[in-house]
Structure 1
Amino acid sequence: MDIVDAWMQHPTVRFARHEMLESLRRWTGMEVPEQEPPVEGTVAAMDAAGVRHGLLSAWHGPEGSLISNDEVAEIVTARPDRFSGLATVDLRRPMDAVRELRRAVRDLGFVGLRVVPWLWGLPPNDRHYYPLYAECVQLGVPFCTQVGHTGPLRSSETGRPIPYLDDVALDFPELVIVAGHIGYPWTEEMIALTRKYPNVYIDTSAYTIKRYPPELVRYLRSDGTHKVLFGSNFPMISPDKALRDIDALELDESGRELFLAGNARRVFGLDSAQGTTSAR
């Protein structure tokens, strides 16, 4: 079966060593590499789970670049069959951020923007984001973000779906929003937003199937068929571990295909974007 992982990182050493991941390293046993890990290791982890394509996130925080757009682009260029890129920007410099997003999409072929609000301490309805939302609409790419509590030792407040993402979806009805990490403990709020807004989606990254909240499983089996995307959050959770117990979801063939690949391919335009460097 075709599987697309909506949230992955190919970690640099500086990303893996960052203090923000200390609690995740403790929970997951994730090791800090002594040298830059080879791409083959990430591809092997995908192959072990049958993941055909992964969306690789770049990361930029207040202290600087952790995984740069150009580092992600190098991987995507080498393996366009296996990866697409999600851009990062410096949120404190809105106009530079807009220009960098434009470069990442038009020149590097990236298929979306990801900003993690807890990293900046700014919720998604903060004014720093708004020029980026307008540019995402102009470029025709989704805005990807994190919802729910934070595993890293940072405040979880920025991950509340209501009012923060609710405000954004109201102000930018054309903006496609993919909210990663399910939204727990506010999962019902996140589901409510996906029902309220046609362009709002959830991805399941950072959770194994056994840890999906019951309300998300019910949604997946019913009217959420077209609204939920599979994600792992590799390397914190391997795709194989994230997909374990997939049969327990009791999805029919159509629902399973949409959850594992179809929704991601549609939302990110993957079938048209793969193999190009300037699709937009």
Structure 2
Amino acid sequence: MIGAVLAPFTFGLSFFLLGMYAMRTGFQNLAGKRMADWLARFTRTPVHSFWVGLLSTFVLQSSSAVTVLTIGLTHAGMIGFAQTVGIILGTNVGTTVTTELIALRLESFAVPMLLVGVAMWLLPRRLPRCIGLVVAGFGLIFLGIDTMQVMAGPLQQSDTFRALFLESSHSIWLGLLTGTIFTALIHSSSATTAITMGLMSHHILSMETALAIVLGANIGTCFTAVIASFGTNAASRQVAWCHTLFNVAGALLFLPFLSQLALVSAFLTDSPSMQIAHSQTIFNVICSLAALPFTRQIAAFVRWMVPDKKRT
């Protein structure tokens, strides 16, 4: 039983994370060298910062990577903390693009995409090699999802697993905690969401539990940024904790309304995977757009919570 679950989970997660790395590397080679310049130059207003955070997260395929990059630029004095609030709000929306793509259920294209990507990577010119990495990365992601879904069958037969998630269905707090811890351990909210989609497609989880796990994943993704802020200046720590506080506050505010969020997503599509993707998008868009007009106030609050040493 353990082997039937652990083997597909381990291989599937490895394929998924390797695909994310390959795709991120391809995008970075295409535009990553300009990313720091974009973050430093085009963050003059909260709206500009928001779009920079959104586009950067789409290119780097990781909100944590953009937040860590932002922490580095803040520590170097290239941008001020107030400019980073809009970037953080944008990263939360940008990360939903990957989730929406994953929800399209393109597993049947996994091997062809992987083969095409490898073939392009073997070409001598730089541009097709970079594009090949991106295509192969997508192929590995879908291959990983397909592999992880193999574990759903044995899990359905497990009395222990059924009891655990039956308890989770009665306590969305347990789902929130599960999503937070698992994402903090594997450093990928997209992977957590993909696993949740796989379990939902086999009707192992309730929609409310699945959405609680996804909200927890949003909190868990802040763990990398908090670690990156250790040993940095106050402004960099403010960036990390702003990201954390915003995601925690958003998750806690939405937690009582998971049933309503599930109803809205069910109205948009019949597919459980698409419902999860749409719910995450709705959650992140609403939270980010609601907070965008108050970036100065948010920055002031975070400065009060994480003050400069000079002020203490």
**Would you call these one fold, judging by a TM-score over 0.5?**
no
TM-score if structure 2 supplies the norm length?
A: 0.27
Q: Higher helix fraction: Structure 1 or Structure 2?
A: 2
Q: What TM-score does the superposition give when structure 1 sets the normalisation length? A: 0.29
More strand, by proportion: 1
